[in-house]
Structure 1
Amino acid sequence: MKTVIFPGTFDPVTHGHLDLLQRAACIADKVIVGVALNESKKTLFNIEERCALLRQVTTSLSNVEIEPFSGLLADFAKDKKAIALIRGIRCGADVEYEIQLSQLNKILNPQLETILLVANNRSSFISSTVVKEVFKHGGDITQLAPFVVQEALFKKNKDKEST
């Protein structure tokens, strides 16, 4: 069974993430979405919330599992017996960055490959940061993120206002 890991912070999950994840699910037997717990990154959603959102939007993908992780991605991949990482690229700068990460991961885990998937035209401009900014300023995010993300952002905003 060929297992790949699609790692990220997913704060929050976007339509761009889902496009890449659906495509990864078509080329691998099993896709583990590795939700990164990075203490140096200030996320809007905690790790449990990010995993829950991903579980909600991937129910139709039977070969996808959602797992939080911390530490080195190369170690997580080794623990999960993954053969490759799935990484999305939106522009030339992403390619350069992903090549550097791929080379580092290859040093840390020589059996680990990196598969770069090019974002489609409809989602190449989407990022979690864009989703949060558009929402924060009252914009419509329905074409940027799943509805459950919009609901979660409304709830997060409401909770923040009541404190």
Structure 2
Amino acid sequence: MKKVAVYPGSFDPITQGHLDIIQRGARVFDHVVVAVLHNSQKKPLFTVEERVHLIREVTQEIGNVEVDHFEGLLVDYIHNRKATNVIRGLRAITDFEYELQFASMMKKLDVNIETLFMMTNNQYSFLSSGIVKEVAQYGGDVGNLVPAIVEEALKQKYMK
């Protein structure tokens, strides 16, 4: 039986830290679905379609990665995808409390879903999409923080 994992997130935008987790998750699981969350409570910089496109571009060389989007409960999406695992990235100890609550709720909703925490590479431990957007908004160099296509997309967004 194939081991399928879902890596959910807003990915607004995808960073090198996210990409690191995707690449490593793809080595652990047979199939990884990067699932872009449509959260109506947030005002993202990129549309869901734009985020899906950017992620597909930067993961196209990873044969067992698929990019999709969803809204609603993650547990329902996981069931629909016939997955049994969730990948969550941890940057620092500050992430742990939220992620522990997330994993505990996931286990409460379905005891068969396992959450795998992956520590991000140390060079990305400070990195978040929010920081990237803030630096890019003011014309700062984000070239080593995001893939080149994402850097260009950020420039286009902030030139408007």
TM bracket (short chain): over 0.9
Q: Which residue of 1 aligns with 2:80?
A: 79
Q: Which residue of 2 aligns with 1:129?
A: 130
For 2:140, what is the secondary structure of its paired residue?
A: coil
Q: Which residue of 2 aligns with 1:54?
A: 55
> Are 2:110 and 1:109 aligned?
yes
Q: How many Å apart are 1:106 and its aligned residue?
A: 1.0
Q: Which residue of 2 aligns with 1:64?
A: 65
Which deviates more from structure 2 when the two are superposed, residues 11-20 or residues 73-82? 73-82
Provide the identity percentage. Answer: 47
For 2:87, what is the secondary structure of its paired residue?
A: strand
Superposition TM-score, scaled by structure 2 size? 0.97
AA matched with 2:19: L
Q: How many Å apart are 1:81 and its aligned residue?
A: 1.1
Matches within 5 A, 1:135-146: 135-146=136-147
Q: Which residue of 2 aligns with 1:100?
A: 101
What stretches of structure 2 of length at least 5 have no aligned partner?
Answer: none
2-structure distance, mates of 1:8, 1:139: 24
Number of matched pairs: 159
Runs of 4+ in 1 over 3 A off after TM superposition: none
Q: How many Å apart are 1:157 and its aligned residue?
A: 2.1
Q: Which residue of 1 aligns with 2:26?
A: 25
AA matched with 1:68: H
Q: How many Å apart are 1:130 and its aligned residue?
A: 0.8
Deviations 1:10-53 (Å, cap 9, x if unpaired)?
00000000000000000000000010000001100000000000
Deviations 1:115-142 (Å, cap 9, x if unpaired)?
0000111111111011111111111101
2-structure distance, mates of 1:154, 1:136: 8
Deviations 1:37-76 (Å, cap 9, x if unpaired)?
0000110000000000000000110000000000001111
